[in-house]
Chains A and B, each alone.
Chain A
């Protein structure tokens, strides 16, 4: 069932520029769609039309089957989680107050807000005492976690994320992405995620929509985007090392052959992606690696199996991996 649906949506600004041109797509419930493209492609406009921060000029946007034109704008926004870069936190409020903003706007009583805030602090793995701190006392990564917690506070069905990890250094960004995928796997939430970073888009999305000049050029699973780019623009945008990127969308469990004899050699886990396996193969003479789960041998992954994926075998399953990395 589709949670978010765009039908022929166009956004034209007063000065005549068309930011989004006749866009139609849907996001299924529980799915993450990443919108990716060069700056000015309309990805942010597309996202901001969902919570009516930018009103659409033409067409219909529906959430859970109801057109947003039929909703009260304020209520609509309160029902949708909104994550922006860490700068969106309010410096004059404590971390707990920041997280509790939307519940407070919705009129929850204080005890309920307090419980919810504690729950969320636990979810983002911050100590409960940090609720009393001010955002300026936290690190960039912690602030961004608070931003995510704030968006989740009122249990939204839909989450909009506007380049949430864009201001972080690469290492923090990577670990926050992993953490978020873990959090997300425990929630039943539909996500629209805007980024200009194709690697992030491929990692975070169940579906990736590559945008250009206000239109979606291709909307597919990360695997299909990599193995079968619709146009030259997409393949250029994905980059030249797409075969290598492709590896990061496939897990060891997808390709390995089962085996149980213990073997004394460097091993990999079934949840690891093939990019990591390929790196091990590149640095050693071995042709096969044992796959070990919880200390028990469960299979073997070979050089040949990795090569098949690099050469573009499309029969393998979709994302899956990234969530477990």
Chain B
């Protein structure tokens, strides 16, 4: 008896997924626009966070006092509710993508910053010392030894930020930025779950695709046999 109820539940669930996919297929043009917008918001926001957080992470590992300040600022940046950032910043950034990108940028900073610091600190001193002994300048030691060896951990941070950002980007719907959030909101307004799901499912898929993409990219950037170490290093971070 119970099983038939569960089966019926599963059946309606499968049914609504199918209907959501049908909705996507029927609105393919809109879907592509939403996908493009969503990805643009995520990639620009995370990209900006990388550009800022990685150099900051390098600074943190070189100046104790400055480092302490930077780490705390990074922590504060992440506690800012993205919705609040959007609400405050649209007054000077206007409606559209920019406030969402800013919110996402703040949100993505800390994981990348933290992992950059953890990655650089995990580099064995003896390697850096060997580099000094061979006559590498501080910059050469950073680019040839420290950053390449820290790369798997830094990439883990970038992946974490990207995954979180795909979720945050849904807020764009509230401020006219576009993205899959549009369908989620539309479905709610029309009390139509299929439209909401048509907005939610691609987000989940996007998370998986982007995560795999970065994993591949990481393999290209660090050709050494570092992928096996990756898991332990993430937990250390």
Contacts and interface: CB of A to CB of B under 8 A. Distances in A.
A74 B127 CA distance: 17
B48 interface: no
A143 to B, nearest CB: 13
A65 interface: no
Contacts of A23: none
A84 B140 contact: no
B6 interface: no
Per DSSP, chain B at the interface is: helix
Nearest to A87: B126
A88 B132 contact: no
Interface size class on chain B is 20 to 34
B200 interface: no
Given A91-B149, A92-B224, A92-B226, A53 B136 contact: no
B132 A77 contact: yes
Contact of A84 (B129, B148, B223, B226): B129
A87 B140 contact: no
B124 to A, nearest CB: 7
Contacts of B144: 90, 101
Contacts of B73: none
B134 A92 contact: no
Contact of A77 (B124, B126, B135, B225): B135
B135 A102 contact: yes
Given A85-B126, A87-B127, A92-B149, A51 B224 contact: no
Contact of A78 (B124, B130, B135, B145): B135
Interface of A: 51, 53, 74-79, 82, 84-85, 87-93, 101-102, 105, 134, 136-137, 150, 160
Given A51-B133, A91-B149, 8 more contacts: A53-B132, A76-B135, A77-B135, A90-B148, A91-B225, A92-B223, A93-B224, A136-B225
